[in-house]
């Protein structure tokens, strides 16, 4: 997932009145992506924030003559520096690319959601509050006083039922009204003064005001960073490392750090708590006051019925059944992926064989162009589509369902203890489960880890998880020809290696394991449109990036085979492949190709076998298959994974890891080969 | 661990007057389904800030839901959401229970 910025459709002369840039912000799981999908439909792109490993969802929409550019920000709880997502979000919101924010708020959980709203307020960007899940609130007979909310926040507040698309387009109508009310110079927008209910207690507020005045003395320098000075003052008080960096960079403003430090100390002494506790408590107190004013509970009776979601939650976090279910889920991911994949792959294979016969009949089987273009190009295409794509799509589908339903945090809860053995906390299980499909998003997903140390360990663990590509190789060889027992044998070795590597990394890497702090949101029925669109977007990326590569490589390989150019490489690698691993000599170059994409090892092997008129079982002995699969499973992660590991950590580390994994793979492969020879000669 | 710690000022809650001083434990020691009030978070800067942003500040009510087996993390209910806390961090959160110290 190399970073790429989405193409913007051109605003044809006079077609649109104006472009309105909107950022959707809010806590995780409040229905942000549902609203995003309702608004932008299929015209959306997944990319990366420039230079960052955070995913950027962007979409476009033509509405009432305006051109809307909507960015779905990652779900976060605050605007501190806890994660990269928080930093990316706050930097983006204050940049010139945003005209207004839509803050999506879950009506059923105002307390926590409004905390984030309070943080957004300090960024002084025009904002609309969208209160989602109003239907559930109504069902619980709870009323929300929208007029009071608007009066308190001095912002438009709108009810939304995102899943049914109710109120979603009204958000944009409101946005248009706001934009049209601006003077021709947008930047002259005046953000309303904070009412007393929105500001901090007297002591904190005075310190913030004093500090703001101090900061404003160097307005010209500070304005380059786009943040409002009050926000900077609060963050300086909170000892926010990113903001401190800004102040350290300027000669004139450096003194503010010292002032903030003194203020902080005064406040901490006065309240007897640390600054973050003071500020958070005051915000939560204000929220409490707001909720008392705006929430009216109509029905006295409490809903005591345990819902289905609660029961599922209880079962999936149960100390025995939870693990059983986790095992079933992991098995289910593979089972679903491969049942669907095998079925579709079989259809395509049949089609290719039928077509091949026609082509051979027409042009002759020994025609060199037939070999290069048909066997190499078209064969490669069918190999990629029928051997890989048919597995990738169902996998993405099932992962999206797991993600959207809310199962993954449960797995983290259950696995936290085991993960501590490897020096990371439970959340690592999430990228590892993603790794069952593809190691690239898995390693990218390791950004959810909080510290450098955990990130470093997590990327290694995730890169060792057998991905769908590796699975196609293993299923296509061992699964197809040798059966379930040997499949389990391979997986046992693979997962033992993961555990062992994690253990060693934990022991050798300096630092200690941090602790899990994670929200576990309620289960919900996955949203059909979000899932289908996400699946499609992710598959599209695969189609555009991997398919052309596979076809080109297929043709190149066929040409090389025809020219007998592969022999030297194979001979150089022969001591390793033939002597140490006991594999056929041709596999040397395939293993090299496998670095590009692991499934190529099997795809190319199949192409070779078919060009020689053999089946795979005639090409390789069972023990060779086992060794070949094992080496493919464990040796250097594919090229894209190495790149993403380097991006998450650094190139030196990525290369070290690759070398380590090659060594482990060769070691185990050799042991099995010689072990087999030893036992058969006994 | 800290079972014998006393703090007088937190004696009466919810208008109920009770005799004795409330029992203080760390969150890991609480029973399933016990509702407690946070007294102090004894963690480092980063973890403390994170917990504060999630609403775990002194005075807040927490409901302990369950804990994972093999000394795993614990699940709590606070400010309308379920949170999972690793055992290490949970043991640094001091809470005041509904029961009182026995004499």
Q: State how far the Cα of A150 lies from the Cα of A158, in Å rounded to an integer.
A: 9
Find the helix or strand (DSSP H, E) in which A206 lies: helix A202-216
The tens digit of pLDDT for each residue in A462-472 reads 999 988 778 87
Taking CA atoms, A503 is separated from A163, A293, A459, A499, A653, in Å, by 44, 53, 14, 6, 18
Same domain, A600 and A462: yes
State which residues form the domain around A539.
Answer: 345-517+527-681
Q: Which of A112, A281, A520 sits opposite B84 (nearest CB)?
A: A520
Which residue is closest to A313 within chain B, CA to CA? B82
Q: What is the pLDDT of residue A4?
A: 34
Confirm whether A329 is domain-assigned. Answer: no
Q: Which of A147, A162, A188 is the last residue of a domain?
A: A188
Of B58, B71, B75, the CB nearest to A277: B58
Look at residue A490 and give its three-state secondary structure.
helix
Chain A interface test: which of B26, B52, B90 (most A C-beta within 10 Å): B52
Inter-CA distances, A231 with A9, A80, A113, A192, A241, Å: 35, 11, 19, 15, 14
More confidently predicted of A179 and A192: A179
**CA of B99, closest CA in chain A: separation in Å?**
25
Residue position matching structure tokens 């977007």: A537
CA distance B6 to A324: 43
Which residue of chain B comes nearest to A276, CA vs CA?
B49
**CB-CB neighbours of A84 under 10 Å:** 16
State whether A255 and A165 are in the same domain. no
Q: A92 and A26, same structural domain? A: yes
Percent of chain A, pLDDT > 70? 92
> How many Å apart are CA A515 and CA A507, to the nearest integer?
17
The set of residues, in sequence order, having a beta carbon less than 8 Å from that of A195 and lying 6+ positions away, is: A152, A154
Rounded to an integer, the average pLDDT of A318-335 is 90
For residue A414, which residues of chain B lie inside 8 Å, CB to CB? 68, 72
Torsion of CA A375, A629, A334, A350, to 10 degrees: 20
By Cβ distance, the residue of A80, A109, A514 closest to B53 is: A80
The size of the A-B interface in CB pairs under 8 A is: 120
- Distance between CA atoms of residues A323 and A457, nearest Å: 23
Check whether A123 has a pLDDT greater than 50.
yes
Largest Cα separation within chain B, whole Å, is 39
Q: How far apart are CA A399 and CA A535, in angstroms?
A: 9
Nearest alpha carbon to residue B52 among A75, A120, A516, A280: A280
CA nearest A414: which of B82, B84, B5? B84
A324 pLDDT exceeds 80?
Answer: yes
For B44, how many CA atoms within 13 A lie in the half-sphere containing its CB? 4
B61 at A interface, C-beta within 8 A:
no
Q: Does a structural domain hold residue A255?
A: yes
Q: Is residue A227 part of a domain?
A: yes
- The tens digit of pLDDT for each residue in A11-43 reads 444 566 788 899 999 998 888 988 998 898 777
B14 — pLDDT class (breaks 50, 70, 90): very low
State ipTM: 0.81
* pLDDT for position A101: 93
Q: How far apart are the C-alpha atoms of A518 and B51, rounded to whole Å?
A: 10
Query: Measured between CB atoms, does A78 come within 8 Å of chain B?
Result: yes
Same domain, A436 and A568: yes
**How far A407 CA sits from the closest chain B CA (Å)?**
14
Q: Over 60: is that where the pLDDT of A151 sits? A: yes
Judge whether residue A3 has pLDDT over 50.
no
Q: Give pLDDT, residue A16.
A: 67
Alpha carbon distance B7, B9 (integer Å): 6
- Kindly tell me if the per-residue pLDDT of A663 is higher than 90: yes
Amino acid A451: pLDDT: 78
For residue A62, what are the β-bridge partners? A67
Q: Would you tell me the crossing angle of helices A32-40 and A528-563 to the nearest 10 degrees? A: 70
Is residue A327 one of the residues assigned to a domain? no
Identify whether residues A240 and A174 lie together within a single domain: no
Indicate the pairing of strand B74-78 with strand B81-85: antiparallel
| Domain identity same for A183 and A274 | no
Helix H or strand E segment including B71: none
Last residue of a domain, one of A188, A209, A240: A188
- A553 and A675, same structural domain? yes
Residues A596 and A466 placed together within one structural domain of the fold: yes
pLDDT of residue A599: 77
- Residue partners of A285: CB distance under 8 A and separation at least 6: none
Model confidence at A155: pLDDT above 80: yes
pLDDT of residue A193: 66
- Residue A5 belongs to some domain of the structure: no
Chain centre to alpha carbon of residue A248: 33
Q: Are residues A642 and A493 in the same domain?
A: yes
Chain B CB contacts of A519 under 8 Å are 54, 81-84
**Domain spans of chain B, in order of start:** 18-100
The answer to the question of residue A108 being in a domain is yes
pLDDT tens digit sequence for A491-549: 999 999 999 999 999 999 888 778 888 888 888 888 888 888 888 887 877 777 667 76
Above 90 in pLDDT, residue B75?
A: yes
Question: Pairing mode, if any, of strands A142-144 and A100-106?
Answer: unpaired
**pLDDT at res. A2:** 30
Task: Kindly tell me the burial class for residue A269, based on how many C-beta atoms sit within 10 Å of its own C-beta (0-12, 13-18, 19 or more).
Answer: exposed
Q: For the CA atoms of chain A, what is the radius of gyration?
A: 29
A595 or A160, which is more confident: A160
**The last residue of a domain, from among A297, A332, A363:** A297
Disruptive mutation site among B9, B57, B67, B92 for chain A (greatest number of A CBs within 10 Å): B57
Strand duo A157-159 + A142-144: pairing: unpaired
pLDDT in tens, B17-68: 556 678 888 899 888 888 999 999 988 888 899 999 999 999 999 999 988 8
Residues of B in contact with A319 (CB under 8 A): 68-69
- pLDDT of B13: 47
**B5–chain A Cβ distance below 8 A for any pair:** no
A127-132 and A157-159 strand pairing: parallel
> Residue B83: its chain A contacts at CB < 8 A?
517-520
Alpha-helical regions (H) of A422-527 = 429-435, 439-445, 452-464, 468-474, 480-481, 484-508
Burial of A496 (0-12, 13-18, 19+ CB in 10 A): exposed
Is residue A634 situated within a structural domain? yes
Q: Does A349 fall in a domain?
A: yes
C-alpha separations of A270 from A197, A266, B39, B44 in Å: 22, 6, 18, 20
More confident residue, A670 or A391: A670
| Same-domain check for residues A412 and A558 | yes
pLDDT of residue B3: 40
Residue A170 pLDDT: 93
Name the minimum distance, in Å, from the CA of B78 to any CA of chain A.
9
Q: A133: which chain B residues are within 8 Å (Cβ-Cβ)?
A: none
Residue A57 host element (H or E) = strand A55-63
Number of domains into which chain A is organized:
3
Q: In what order do the strands lie in the sheet with A55-63?
A: A44-48, A55-63, A66-72, A19-26, A100-106, A127-132, A157-159
Give pLDDT, residue A461.
Answer: 93
* Residues on chain B touching A425 (C-beta within 8 angstroms): 86
Mean of pLDDT over chain A? 84
Contact status of A29 with chain B (Cβ, < 8 Å): no
CATH number, domain B18-100: 2.30.30.90
- With CB atoms and an 8 Å threshold, state whether B83 touches A317: no
Q: Quick one: pLDDT band at residue B6, thresholds 50, 70, 90?
A: very low
The token pair at A275 is 């600054």
Give Cα A87 distance to the centre of its chain.
Answer: 16
Q: Which tens digits make up the pLDDT trace of A562-618?
A: 777 777 888 888 888 888 988 888 888 888 878 777 877 887 788 778 777 777 778
C-alpha dihedral (A165, A170, A176, A178), degrees to nearest 10: -130
Chain B residues near residue A522 by CB distance under 8 angstroms: 82
Under the banding of pLDDT at 50, 70 and 90, the label for residue A404 is confident
Find the range with the poorest average confidence among A313-322, A645-654, A666-675: A645-654
Supply the pLDDT for residue B102.
64
Same domain membership, residue A509 and residue A416: yes
Region B70-90 average pLDDT: 90
CATH number at residue A71: 3.40.50.300
- Calculate ∠ Cα A287-A171-A121, nearest 5°: 35
Exposed (0-12), middle (13-18) or buried (19+): which is A484, by Cβ within 10 Å? exposed
pLDDT tens per residue across span A269-310: 999 889 999 999 999 999 999 999 999 988 766 655 678 888
Q: Do A517 and B86 touch (CB under 8 A)?
A: yes
Distance from CA of A537 to the nearest CA of B (A): 31
Predicted pLDDT at A304: 59
Residue A202 and residue A157 share a domain: no
Phi/psi for A519 (5° steps) reads: -85, 140
Is A111 touching B (CB cutoff 8 A)? Answer: yes
Instruction: Say whether residue B44 is in contact with chain A using an 8 A CB cutoff.
Output: no
User: Rounded to whole angstroms, how far apart are CA atoms A286 and A309?
Assistant: 31
């Amino acid at each position: 997932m190399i970073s790429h910025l989405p193409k913007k459709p051109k605003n044809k002369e006079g077609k649109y009145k104006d472009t309105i840039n909107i950022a959707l912000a809010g806590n995780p799981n409040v229905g942000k992506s549902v609203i995003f999908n309702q608004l932008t439909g299929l015209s959306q792109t997944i990319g990366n924030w420039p230079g960052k490993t955070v995913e950027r969802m962007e979409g476009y929409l033509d509405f009432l003559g305006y051109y809307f550019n909507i960015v779905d920000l990652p779900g976060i709880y605050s605007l501190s520096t806890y994660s990269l997502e928080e930093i990316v979000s706050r930097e983006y919101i204050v940049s010139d690319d945003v005209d207004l924010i839509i803050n999506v708020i879950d009506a059923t959980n105002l307390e926590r959601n409004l905390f984030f709203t309070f943080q957004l307020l300090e960024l002084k960007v025009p904002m609309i509050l969208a209160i989602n899940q109003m239907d559930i609130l109504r069902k619980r007979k709870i009323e929300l006083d929208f007029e009071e909310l608007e009066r308190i926040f001095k912002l438009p507040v709108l009810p939304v039922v995102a899943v049914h698309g109710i109120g979603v387009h009204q958000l944009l109508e409101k946005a248009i009204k706001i934009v049209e009310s601006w003077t021709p110079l947008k930047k002259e927008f005046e953000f309303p003064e904070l009412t007393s209910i929105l500001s901090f207690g007297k002591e904190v507020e005075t310190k913030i005001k004093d500090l703001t005045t101090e900061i404003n003395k160097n307005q010209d320098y500070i304005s380059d960073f786009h943040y409002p000075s009050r926000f900077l003052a609060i963050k300086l008080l909170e000892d926010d490392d990113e903001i401190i960096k800004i102040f350290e960079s300027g000669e004139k403003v450096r003194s503010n750090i010292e002032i903030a430090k003194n203020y902080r100390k005064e406040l901490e002494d006065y309240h007897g708590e640390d600054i973050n506790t003071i500020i958070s408590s005051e915000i939560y107190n204000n929220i409490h006051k707001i909720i008392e004013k705006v929430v009216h509970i109509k029905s006295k009776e409490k809903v005591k019925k345990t819902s289905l979601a609660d029961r599922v939650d209880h079962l999936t976090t149960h100390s025995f059944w939870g693990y059983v279910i986790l095992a079933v889920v992991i098995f289910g991911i593979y089972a679903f992926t491969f049942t669907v994949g095998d079925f579709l792959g079989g259809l395509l294979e049949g089609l290719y064989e039928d077509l091949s016969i026609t082509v051979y009949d027409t042009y002759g089987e020994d025609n060199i162009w037939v070999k290069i273009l048909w066997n190499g190009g078209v064969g490669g295409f069918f190999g990629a589509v029928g051997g890989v794509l048919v597995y990738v799509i169902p996998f993405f589908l099932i992962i999206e369902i797991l993600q959207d339903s809310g199962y993954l945090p449960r797995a983290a809860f259950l696995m936290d203890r085991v993960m501590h053995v490897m020096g990371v906390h439970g959340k690592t299980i999430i990228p590892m489960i993603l790794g069952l499909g593809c190691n690239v998003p898995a390693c990218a997903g390791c950004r959810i880890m909080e510290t450098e140390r955990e990130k470093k360990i997590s990327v290694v663990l995730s890169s060792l998880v057998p991905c769908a590509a590796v699975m196609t190789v293993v299923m296509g060889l061992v699964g197809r020809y040798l059966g379930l027992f040997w499949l389990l044998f391979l997986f046992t070795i693979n997962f033992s290696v993961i555990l062992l590597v994690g253990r060693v990394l934990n022991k050798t890497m300096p630092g200690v394991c941090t602790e899990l702090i994670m929200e576990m949101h309620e289960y919900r029925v996955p949203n059909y449109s979000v899932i289908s669109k996400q699946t499609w977007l992710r598959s599209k990326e695969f189609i555009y990036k991997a398919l052309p590569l596979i076809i080109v490589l297929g043709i190149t390989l066929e040409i090389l085979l025809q020219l007998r150019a592969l022999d030297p490489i194979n001979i150089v690698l022969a001591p390793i492949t033939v002597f140490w691993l006991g594999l056929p000599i041709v596999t040397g170059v395939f293993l090299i190709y496998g670095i590009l994409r692991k499934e190529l090892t099997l795809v190319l092997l199949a192409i070779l076998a078919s060009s020689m008129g053999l089946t795979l079982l005639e090409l390789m002995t069972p023990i060779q298959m086992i060794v070949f699969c094992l080496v493919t499973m464990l040796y250097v992660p594919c090229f894209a994974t190495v790149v993403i590991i380097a991006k998450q950590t650094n190139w030196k580390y990525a290369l070290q890891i690759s070398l380590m994994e090659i060594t482990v793979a060769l070691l185990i492969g050799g042991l099995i080969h010689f072990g087999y020879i030893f036992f058969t000669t006994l | 661990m800290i079972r014998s710690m006393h703090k007088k000022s937190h004696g009466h809650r919810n208008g109920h007057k009770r005799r004795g001083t409330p029992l203080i434990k760390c969150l890991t020691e609480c029973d399933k389904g016990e509702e407690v009030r946070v007294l102090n978070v004894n963690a480092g800067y980063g973890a403390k800030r994170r917990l504060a942003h999630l609403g775990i500040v002194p005075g807040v009510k927490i409901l302990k839901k369950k804990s994972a087996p093999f000394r795993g993390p614990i699940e709590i209910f606070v400010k309308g959401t379920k949170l999972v806390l690793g055992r290490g961090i949970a043991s640094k959160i001091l809470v005041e229970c509904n029961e009182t110290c026995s004499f």
